Amino acid sequence: MKKLLISALLSLMFLMGSAQNISYQLRENIHYYNDSVCRQDVYINEQCMLDIYYPVNKKDVATVVWFHGGGLTGGQKEIPTELKQQGICVVGVGYRLSPRVHSPAYISDAAASLSWVLKNIGSYNGNPKRVFVAGHSAGAYLACMVVLDKKWLGQYGMDANQIAGLISLSAQTITHFTIRKEQGIADTQPLVDTYAPLFHVRKDAPPILLMTGDREQEMLGRYEENAYMMRMLKIVGHRDIQLFELQGYGHNMISPGIPLMLKWLNQHHAN
């Protein structure tokens, strides 16, 4: 793992060097639902917005759509510092939270925001064919759901396979514990139903990068869930999936994970 991190850091240094002459702007609080929906629902109007950090003097770049963590009950839209000045667009998405809403409202929001990005990122110098979906914890769970279960983007007339890649940092791959709590199920009771990324493993899914913290320091069985999803994806014939266990790190493993993420993204963006 130390060699992987060193290699990733060297790649990150290269990317930073190549992005030195790029200027960036930040657009904040863009609604991704249409005006009529926002007028009808106060919570959607106040919560369902996104920020876009984008290069102003470089076109046709890759985009990372980032869903924040927080257990589907907290957190707010964010542009991770480690993703800035990397020669890419970064979209930080806000979505509705439990208990004010229940499943599948936040999954619907993730799909609506991703649909908006695919339709509009070209106006911010992003290439709609190079959109990567990523997140940490609950955000990674949402990323997995909207990429693996094709119905969510399908309701917007889009194919989830047009996504360039899925990057998941410490996702639950079984049904999320907040959804189980909404159903009166304990967080130690596993459940795999239609709200589990594992339920939707498929051969033709986009390239996937999975990361977790150390299995002995992670939240619940997070590493084992991801290892099982990787195994099931391989069994159904998926050919482009990797899993990294960041030894020595717990659930908060964004900082060591992002250099690996950027290296992987650069390799797949170059293809």
Mean pLDDT, the chain, whole residue set: 94
Nearest-angstrom CA–CA distance, 110 and 116? 10
pLDDT band at 5 (very low <50, low <70, confident <90, very high): low
pLDDT by residue (tens digit) across 83-123? 999 999 999 999 999 999 999 999 999 999 999 999 999 99
pLDDT by residue (tens digit) across 165-178? 999 999 999 999 99
Is pLDDT above 60 for 199?
A: yes
Mean pLDDT of 45-72: 97
Alpha helices (H) in the chain, listed in sequence order? 2-18, 35-40, 42-47, 105-120, 138-148, 151-154, 177-182, 222-235, 254-269
Confidence (pLDDT) at 141: 98
Nearest-angstrom CA–CA distance, 264 and 148? 19
The SS3 of residue 119 is helix
Query: How many domains does the chain contain in total?
Result: 1
Confidence (pLDDT) at 256: 96
Beta carbons within 10 angstroms of residue 154's beta carbon: 12
CATH number at residue 16: 3.40.50.1820
Mean pLDDT of 183-209: 97
Is pLDDT above 90 for 3?
A: no
Confidence (pLDDT) at 269: 74
Peptide bond into 207 cis (omega under 30): no
The SS3 of residue 173 is coil
In sequence order, the 6+-apart residues with CB closer than 8 A to the CB of 216 are none
Domain span at residue 52? 2-269
pLDDT by residue (tens digit) across 123-167? 999 999 999 999 999 999 999 999 999 999 999 999 999 999 999
pTM of the model: 0.92
pLDDT: which is higher, 93 or 11: 93
pLDDT band at 7 (very low <50, low <70, confident <90, very high): low
Confidence (pLDDT) at 250: 98
Cβ–Cβ under 8 Å, residues 98 and 182: yes
Is pLDDT above 70 for 205?
A: yes
- Compute and round to an integer the Cα radius of gyration of the chain: 17
| Encoded tokens for 266 | 């650069």
